[in-house]
Homo-oligomer: A and B are copies of this chain.
Amino acid sequence: MNQDVHTLCHGRPVAVVGAGLVGAGWAIVFARAGLRVKMFDTDPRVLGNATPLIESQLGALRRHGLIDEEPAAVLARIAPAATLAEAVEGASYVQESVLERVDVKRELMIALDALLAPDAVVGSSTSGIPGSAFALDLSISPRVLIVHPVNPPYLVPVVELVPSPQTAQASVRSTDALMQAVGQTVVHVRKEVEGFVLNRLQAVLLREAWALVQEGVVSCEDVDKTVRDGLGWRWSFMGPFETIDLNAPGGVADYAVRLGPLYQRIADSRSHAEMWDAGLISQVEGQRRQHLSHDELESRRAWRDERLMEFAAARRRGES
């Protein structure tokens, strides 16, 4: 894999711009694949915190058998940079994970336009801002696209690639190859739709879940049980289309004829005209706090990341 990666990057480093949780996660993705990573953040404290954070995350990955090298060997390939210019100098690929604001991202694109090598590609980690909003009408515009990860990207492999109307297909292809080479799973979002694909799917499921709680049909905890001990099992290794393809004797078309009308009636029963109001939010908050106090959120997040690593290790065993 690494040879592959070096060829794809022409032996040049990659740059990570924005060194918060997401940026630090990206640095691990690239460095564990053997690439040299230069990391920059406009806030020196954020940049300073990134290295110890990455070190502890690499230690956890090593404990779970998810990296073959010692953490120090991977960390040695990640170098903080004092300036944006230093970070992107000679970089073949730049992953930006700066503040989720159009003006901040536009300002960065203008700066990169003046700094980048003529073949460098820029991936944006934005989860909601389309490239059209900040990446158009620059000389680098054909080489900018959305590369939306799930946090943390070194644990959950999917990335959504979303070109803007000005993104060149060659940039999509080379980023696809790079992401696969560093171990990510690439999803191609062919049009700029709000929420891209992952958050749209999450959104519709959450909307229905909140509505069912509001109507007193089910509790939050029971919604979680329904997915955790039911729906989530097949989805975690097949996804929804393969699931239904196998759930009717004749495959997905057979399934659509059998269950399409039911799903239509369910869809028709929802307009989602109303926002989640304060009363509903405090109801859901109250139910969650019965299971987990505010003070326990942080430790539960650590538990989650441990489970994600066990899951990743089990998946790796299952696939090997």
Residues of A near any B CB (own CB < 8 A): 128, 150, 155-158, 160, 185-191, 193-195, 197-209, 212, 215-242, 244-246, 250-253, 256-257, 260-272, 275-276, 281-282, 284-285, 287-289, 291-292, 294, 297, 300-301, 304, 307-308, 310-311, 314, 318
> Does the CB pair A311–B253 fall under 8 Å?
no
> Does the CB pair A208–B200 fall under 8 Å?
yes
| CB contact under 8 A between A266 and B194, given known A187-B222, A201-B226, A227-B240 | yes
Q: How far is the CA of A194 from the CA of B223 in the complex (A)?
A: 16
Partner of A311, one of B160, B237, B246, B261: B237
Main secondary structure, interface of A, reads helix
Q: How far is the CA of A155 from the CA of B18 in the complex (A)?
A: 44
Partner of A225, one of B205, B239, B256, B292: B239
Partner of A263, one of B207, B221, B236, B287: B207
4 closest cross-chain pairs (CB), A and B: A224-B239, A158-B230, A236-B236, A267-B272
Partner of A217, one of B189, B261, B272, B300: B189
Partner of A297, one of B158, B187, B223, B245: B245
Chain B residues contacting A300 (CB-CB under 8 Å) are: 246
| CB contact under 8 A between A253 and B217, given known A201-B231, A207-B204, A226-B160 | no
> Does the CB pair A199–B238 fall under 8 Å?
no
> Does the CB pair B197–A215 fall under 8 Å?
no
Chain B residues contacting A198 (CB-CB under 8 Å) are: 226, 230-231
Minimum CB–CB distance from A151 to chain B (whole Å) comes to 8
